[in-house]
Amino acid sequence: MASDAIDRIIDFIAERDPAFPAHIKGAAPEEMDRLERAMRKPIEEEYRRFLERMGRSSSWLKLGAGRFDIDSVTRFYEYYGDRCPEGHLLIGRGEGEPRYDFYLQSDRENEHRVVSFEVPYAPERVIRTAGSLPQWIGDKALQVLRRKSMPHQHKISDPDGKPASRLDGFDELMARLGGPALWYSNDWMRTYETKDAVVSVFEVPGEHRIIASLSAATDEELNRIFPPIRRFVQCVAI
């Protein structure tokens, strides 16, 4: 079930911060009922489980520049009704200027991607934030729990772009370097973890090029994994 992935990502975070599950707070059934009345439709299964586990508080985990608690989402639907773009479910109200709200975008196969876009909505300004809700949560957690404290931060971009996706080849490279893709990775955005590094890579929509972000805790790990990753991204697929 899709909702199982929310419990799995919370367990994933708890492996790195055992106190995390005790500090998050889920929404009550009556709060869920109020949201469904405001939405005038059932809450999507995976998002429902997110609200059940973290709908009141996600503790130290900040998911973005916005408010993701159930009260903020419910007030949006009670005030505006279902004014979301077709196929989108609002999950977070943006803060600051310009303001970007956060949505779950459903495709024809009923798979979901987290996206954000500036208010008011304009299709050309949509940002694909993550491939799934669990992936979004997991990568935000890794940023705080691991990447933020690592002294070596590098971003490597393919300057030209290639005519086809090379992420499968990147899987092979990272497996050889001891960092297989984490379970929540998807077809266009993937995350890898070694003992002393975290690497993420994504394919830029419509541009057929990839960008890799590397965080390493030690000089030794940086010198071990940076050269082959740079060669892969900027030169040839292996």
Q: Is 80 exceeded by the pLDDT of residue 111?
A: no
Nearest Cα to Cα of residue 170 among 227, 228, 215:
228
Q: Residue 154: is its pLDDT beyond 60?
A: yes
State whether 119 and 173 are in the same domain.
no
Last residue within a domain, chosen from 99, 132, 165: 132
- Name the pTM for this structure: 0.87
* Same-domain check for residues 31 and 109: yes
Same domain? 97 vs 215: no
Provide mean pLDDT across the span 167-190. Answer: 90
Q: Which position has the higher pLDDT, 203 or 36? A: 36
Examine the pLDDT at 236 and tell me if it is beyond 50.
no
Domain check: are 118 and 163 in the same one?
Answer: no
CATH value at residue 33: 3.40.1580
Give the pLDDT score at 122: 62
Domain tally for the chain? 2
Q: Are residues 188 and 150 in the same domain?
A: yes
Q: Is residue 95 part of a domain?
A: yes
| Region 124-146 average pLDDT | 85
| DSSP state string for the chain | -TTHHHHHHHHHHHTT-TTHHHH-BPPPHHHHHHHHHHHTSPPPHHHHHHHHHHSSB-TT---SSEE-SHHHHHHHHHHH-S-SPTTEEEEEEE-SSS-EEEEEEE-TTS-EEEEEEESSP-GGG-EEEESSHHHHHHHHHHHHHTGGG-SEEEEEE-SS--SS--HHHHHHHHHHTT-PBPTT--SSEEEEEETTEEEEEEEPTTT--EEEEEEESSHHHHHHHHHHHHHHHHT---
Verify that 21 and 101 share a domain, yes or no. Answer: yes
Taking CA atoms, 184 is separated from 5, 62, 134, 181, 191, in Å, by: 8, 19, 7, 8, 8
Task: Note whether residue 137 is domain-resident.
Answer: no
- Does residue 109 sit in the same domain as residue 184? no
Query: Which distant-in-sequence residues (6+ apart) come within 8 Å of 149 by Cβ?
Result: 217
Residue 175, domain CATH? 3.30.310.50
Whether residue 55 is contained in a domain is answered as: yes
110 lies in the same domain as 66: yes
Query: What mean pLDDT value characterizes the chain?
Result: 87
